[in-house]
Structure 1
Amino acid sequence: MLTSLFNSRHERLLKAIIANDPDKVAHHLSKLDAEQLSVPGSDGRHALELALTDSTPRTLELLLNKAARPLPPARCGTPLVCLALQHSDSLPRLTLLLQAGEDPNLIHSQRPLLHQCVEHCETATLMLHLSRLLQHGADIDQSDADGCTLLQGLLANGDLPLLQFLLQSGARCEEEWLTALEDVALATRLKRVLDDLRIRQMMLGG
């Protein structure tokens, strides 16, 4: 009887998430334990994954406020914070997960979250995603499996605003990286950015 009652309440919660009904989600949440949010439904997805992929950030926020820590991965084994980056409206979902304690320096499939942002985020919002991770303590010089930092990997793309943002955010830049650039004009611009940063630090007594 108890098992049947739990299954019924659990199923109602999952249906409310899919229906994108935060009020019903809140109602069903009050009758379930935190650990039950990681119990998979009939399709293998638990409540948090459903909220992350099929519902609004508000529903995800409600679940995160109650969910046990650490947060469970998605059914495919992908950490939720990585899955969030693949959503079309990823920034609010990423923010909620970071606020819930997800590791901004997490590495999945040999790629740090900062590097995964470049892979999944639209150009128009990429710097916002990177900035959000940096605000929560991401290491801007964290290397991927090839030992390449984010700045080092993006130099060849020639995106000056993005590269300037990384430098101004404290990214390490080796002289030989700029020397190796085929785009001499870009290398010159970046050297000027570095010189300006050094002068600013000197003026501030850094």
Structure 2
Amino acid sequence: MLKILTSSRNQKLINAIIDADLDKLARLLTKFDAAALDSPLRDKQSAAEVAIGAQQPKSLELIMNQGCNANALASCGRPLLLLALQQSENSLNLITQLLRAGADANTDNLLSACFYHCSETEQMVHLSRLIEYGSQLTQDPDLMPLALGTERLELIHFLINSGAELPADMESIHCSDATLSYAKRCVDDRRVREMMQQF
């Protein structure tokens, strides 16, 4: 009997998450502690993973506010943050909710993952959000080769001015000489600014 009640309660919670019925979800969440929400509710998925899969950032916000583990792994073994980044809709809002809840922005080379999972028009805003929450540009070895390969000067300028360094092995980068020269100028300009700030 207890198992049936638990299953029914879990299903109501799942439905409220998927439907983004925020009032109902808020009421249901009072019956769950963080440990229960981090545990599998359906198909080995936690409440946070259900919200991410349903592309419901408001539902995810309410769930994370219950103290859930923002650094938990999804049922597929990937961090929730990477799973959120891979969503076709609302990925920026989903990763923002996880980052606000304490997700590690340096997980699994997320900066590079933006080039594989975000559209060209959304890459910079995703990168900016991850940097805002502490992503270390120098810890992702694929970041600048990927950025240079896009030949997008505004993106290259943004990353270098945010602290990214050019790879030591520049010969292996697939980009035009003009793009490479521009990137080197950006690095030089940044170094000059940094030196001037010391005086």
Would the TM-score normalized by the shorter structure come out above 0.5?
Answer: yes
Q: Which runs of 5+ in 2 are unaligned?
A: none
Residue 101 (structure 2) pairs with residue 125 (structure 1): no
2-structure distance, mates of 1:203, 1:182: 31
Aligned length: 198
Question: 1:186-206 deviations in whole A, cap 9, x for unaligned?
Answer: 222223222222222222127
How many angstroms does 1:27 deviate by? Answer: 0.7
8 Å contact kept, 1:10–1:32: no
Distance 1:196 1:179, change over 3 A: farther
Report the Cα offset of residue 36 of structure 1: 1.4
Which ranges of structure 1 fall in alignment gaps of 5 or more residues? none
Greater shift in the superposed pair: 172-181 or 19-28:
172-181
User: Structure 1 vs Structure 2: percent identity of aligned residues?
Assistant: 39
What is residue 40 of structure 1 aligned with on the other side? 40
Deviations 1:109-136 (A, max 9, x none): xxx1111111101111111111111111
- In 1, Cα distance between equivalents of 2:116 and 2:22: 31
Q: Deviations over 1:42-65 (max 9, x none)?
A: 444332111112152111100001
Q: Deviations over 1:38-85 (max 9, x none)?
A: 333444433211111215211110000114336532222221110101
Which residue pairs with 2:95 in the alignment?
Answer: 94
Deviation at 1:153, TM superposition (A): 3.5
Q: Distance in 1 between matches of 2:15 and 2:180?
A: 54
Distance in structure 1 (CA, Å) of the matches to 2:83 and 2:41 = 18
Length-normalised TM-score, structure 2: 0.87
Residue of structure 2 equivalent to 1:30: 30
Task: Compute the RMSD of aligned alpha carbons.
Answer: 2.3
**Aligned letter for 1:62?**
L
Q: Which residue of structure 2 aligns with residue 139 of structure 1? A: 136
